[in-house]
A and B are shown apart, each in its own frame.
Chain A
Amino acid sequence: MLLFIEQTLNGLQFGLLLFLLAAGLTLVFGIMDLVNLAHGSLYMLGAYFAATFTALTGHFIGGVVLALMATLLVGMAVEVIAMRRLYGRDHLDHVLGTFGLILFFNELVRLIWGPAGMNLTLPSWLNTSIELMPGVHYSMYRLSIIIVSLAVAISLYFVVMRTRIGMLIRAGASNREMIGALGINIKLLFTLVFGAGAALAGLAGLMQAAILTAQIGMGENILILAFVVIIIGGIGSIRGAFVASLLVGLIDTVGRAFLPDVLKLFLSNSAASTAGPALSSMLIYLVMAVILVARPEGLFPAANK
């Protein structure tokens, strides 16, 4: 039972991290109708920036803030330089163009930082565990990821639902042409949304950097999961992305943790430990398939276009 609580926390942490990535992706997809495969590259840049800036400044929080601003700037620059040229075109062009960006960023990182990757060193107050309740030890760092991501999720909800800019974003998601016609500076709105999405991806990347280290191509693996999340959640819906990320995070972690034990009940020991990891990594896709059969638009489809 105590183990189950711990595994649920692990799943929650992973899910929230996915949410940060998926939120930007779903906003960009929903509002600009842009398929952005290079979202993972911004996630990678966040990780590299954080590792570099904390090493340079010798200060963890300072380095993290600098890294966030740097990713935001890179995101806006990418939007102005590259993405603008893709808006009017069809999805295949988006895929090709942003795939090119992935290659570009991977090589750029290799040129600047080398192929070996970097590790983000944590201060000692994060590099420890705390006892949440008797018998439940949890990594301080993972706990702080949960707290930060939840705070971001709540403020994102507040911004999107309660502010003027959020209203424009929601309006943009349901009818782009109309808000353009109403005299809203759609160019600026797009740059802002894209930059904010980049910063969210950067935040996810820099938080992962201390766990997974900054690696070239680290964004591609997790991007697939982020796409699964926005498809399950419904494209363009922040609420959908939130629910779906938690679902995917929990299924992934809890499945990995307990499936081999479940399989051992009716398979031999070695077969179970081999089949377990294979099956648990399939689990999310099975869930996605089932959800798509039941609700082809996802759990929370954005308002009709």
Chain B
Amino acid sequence: MKRTLLTAGAILALALSPAEAQNKTVKIGFVSTFSGPTAVIGNDMRNSFELALDHMGRKIGGLPVEVIYEDDGQKPDVGKQKTEKLIESDKVDFIVGYIWSNVLLASLKPVVDSKTFLVIANAGPSQIAGELCSPYVFSTSWQNDQTPQAVGEYMNQKGVKSVYLIGPNYAAGKDMLQGVAATFKGKVVGQDLTKWPDQLDFSAELSKARAAKPDAIFVFYPGAAGVQFLNQYVQAGLKGQIPLYTAFTIDELSLPRQKDLALGIPGAQQWVNDLPFDQNKKFVADFKKKYNSSPSFYGAQSYDAAQLINSAVTAVKGDLSKKDAMRDEMRKANFPSVRGPFKYGNNHVPIQNFYLQDVVKTADGSLGLKTVATIVKDSQDRHHTKCPMKW
């Protein structure tokens, strides 16, 4: 008898719950690279996202969270498949992640068509900042051109007169090289785009760069390729001869393998681990405590992605059907970003500062990244005028 009652109760409870349960958890799909040589980046992003959830008490806007991590294998077709799976079968409320611009571009359509919110935690292809901008897409990183534009400014400040550009032949590589060229006032004496991601030997490109006799070389090689490029740059005897300027080539993930080779090579970044904001100090300190390593800018952007989602869900008090209200809240960027306060442009790309970072020896003899100066304040990407969105 007791048992029958219990069963009946359970059935009743089950029958009543679905309508309510739909809004009981926030479902987040996280697409990044978790296999292959660039898996370290994906892991850093996942770790930071998890840390952000820890800091929020594993609740977003008061609701429990479920995160589904999917591996894109750094391949556009796989990324698109995983994105479709998250939308169609997992029915997630938010999609976060994307390291690679080409993977993101391939995955964009299913997200926008289904009106799922997308928070981009790294990639910043010019198309999404411009004509492909969408009310459902936000970035917590940057547009690809912004960081190299800052490097171009810095080279102007240093009096560099000519530069040779090298980068990978895919969406982000092309944006980056054009970004430098947009602000650099000197002459671009040559440029090379290399097959991505499988060309790892840059001997031919380095020889050409040397023969062109530029004042400086600019390169963009994210992940393991940054280590490989730097190895070969030093082996070619170019360090000390032609200074190197970088974007996304030296970071906390590659530095442990680049070691001393990276000393004194400048780069630009919107976030550096030593930025003096309270939330940043908490993020960096707790990350080191939990994972025993230093977070990278990839992680910082993922941490901010979790905070952005949290701000939106909190504003609608957990009613995830109020998409317009959530979007309006996200446009305010109303959360303590680890890079410091920033605003969103009309295309949902941050308007933010870019800092000069340098590699230095820390007190305990290991290598670390340090903010040296602010290169540009409140930089807005140059593609926002092509985005028809107004608000």
Find the B residue at minimum CB distance from A255. Answer: B204
Find the B residue at minimum CB distance from A220. Answer: B198
Interface pair A253/B203, CB less than 8 Å apart: yes
Interface pair A211/B224, CB less than 8 Å apart: no
Interface pair B207/A3, CB less than 8 Å apart: yes
Q: Which of B203, B205, B231, B253 contacts A13 (CB 8 A)?
A: B203
Find the A residue at minimum CB distance from B202. Answer: A211
1/0 per residue, CB under 8 A from A, across B25-41: the answer is 00000000001110110
**Quick one: which of A173-226 are within 8 Å of B by CB?**
210-213, 215-218, 221
Q: Name the distance in Å between B190's Cβ and chain A's nearest Cβ.
A: 9
Is A118 located at the chain interface by the 8 A CB criterion?
Answer: yes
Q: Name the distance in Å between A164's Cβ and chain B's nearest Cβ.
A: 38
Given known A117-B224, A213-B231, A281-B199, contact A3–B211 (CB-CB < 8 A): yes
Q: Which of B35, B231, B253 has the most CB of A within 10 A?
A: B231
Interface pair B231/A278, CB less than 8 Å apart: no
**Quick one: which of B224-262 are within 8 Å of A by CB?**
224, 227-228, 231-232, 234-238, 253, 256-259
Interface pair A216/B36, CB less than 8 Å apart: yes
Given known A3-B208, A137-B236, A215-B37, contact A14–B224 (CB-CB < 8 A): no
B237 surroundings in chain A (CB, below 8 A): 128-130, 137, 139-140
Find the A residue at minimum CB distance from B226. Answer: A213
Among the 9-residue stretches A26-34, A119-127, A228-236, A239-247, the one with 4 or more Cβ atoms under 8 Å from chain B is A119-127
**Cα of A139 to Cα of B231 in the assembled complex, Å:** 11
B40 surroundings in chain A (CB, below 8 A): 115-116
Please give the number of chain A residues whose Cβ is less than 8 angstroms from any Cβ of chain B in the complex: 44
Is A141 located at the chain interface by the 8 A CB criterion?
Answer: yes
Interface pair A140/B235, CB less than 8 Å apart: yes
Q: Which of A137, A212, A276, A281 contacts B201 (CB 8 A)?
A: A212
**Cα of A119 to Cα of B37 in the assembled complex, Å:** 13
**Cα of A118 to Cα of B258 in the assembled complex, Å:** 10
**Cα of A217 to Cα of B201 in the assembled complex, Å:** 16
**Cα of A58 to Cα of B334 in the assembled complex, Å:** 52
**Quick one: which of B158-217 are within 8 Å of A by CB?**
169, 174, 191-195, 198-201, 203-205, 207-208, 210-211
Find the B residue at minimum CB distance from A137. Answer: B237
Is A277 located at the chain interface by the 8 A CB criterion?
Answer: yes
B195 surroundings in chain A (CB, below 8 A): 277-278, 281
Interface pair B228/A276, CB less than 8 Å apart: no
Find the A residue at minimum CB distance from B194. Answer: A277
Given known A129-B237, A217-B37, contact A273–B193 (CB-CB < 8 A): yes
Q: Name the distance in Å between A216's Cβ and chain B's nearest Cβ.
A: 7
Interface pair A278/B169, CB less than 8 Å apart: yes
Q: Which of A10, A117, A210 contacts B207 (CB 8 A)?
A: A10
The SS class assigned to the B binding surface is helix
Find the A residue at minimum CB distance from B234. Answer: A127
Interface pair A119/B235, CB less than 8 Å apart: no
**Cα of A140 to Cα of B232 in the assembled complex, Å:** 11
Is B43 located at the chain interface by the 8 A CB criterion?
Answer: yes
**Cα of A227 to Cα of B342 in the assembled complex, Å:** 53
Interface pair B201/A273, CB less than 8 Å apart: no
**Cα of A10 to Cα of B195 in the assembled complex, Å:** 17
Is A24 located at the chain interface by the 8 A CB criterion?
Answer: no
**Quick one: which of A240-286 are within 8 Å of B by CB?**
253-254, 256-257, 260, 273-274, 276-278, 281
**Cα of A254 to Cα of B235 in the assembled complex, Å:** 20
B200 surroundings in chain A (CB, below 8 A): 211-212
**Cα of A58 to Cα of B56 in the assembled complex, Å:** 45
Q: Name the distance in Å between A124's Cβ and chain B's nearest Cβ.
A: 10
Interface pair B36/A217, CB less than 8 Å apart: yes
Given known A213-B224, A215-B224, A217-B37, contact A10–B194 (CB-CB < 8 A): no
Interface pair B228/A118, CB less than 8 Å apart: no
**Cα of A128 to Cα of B235 in the assembled complex, Å:** 5
27 contacts between A and B (CB under 8 A): A6-B210, A7-B204, A10-B203, A13-B203, A115-B35, A115-B40, A116-B256, A116-B257, A117-B224, A117-B257, A128-B235, A129-B236, A129-B237, A139-B203, A139-B237, A140-B235, A140-B237, A210-B235, A211-B200, A212-B231, A213-B257, A215-B37, A217-B36, A253-B204, A273-B192, A274-B174, A276-B193
6 tightest A-B contacts by CB?
A129-B237, A10-B203, A257-B204, A119-B257, A3-B211, A6-B207
Q: Given A7-B207, A137-B210, A273-B191, 7 more contacts at CB 8 Å?
A: A14-B201, A117-B257, A128-B237, A139-B232, A212-B200, A277-B194, A278-B169
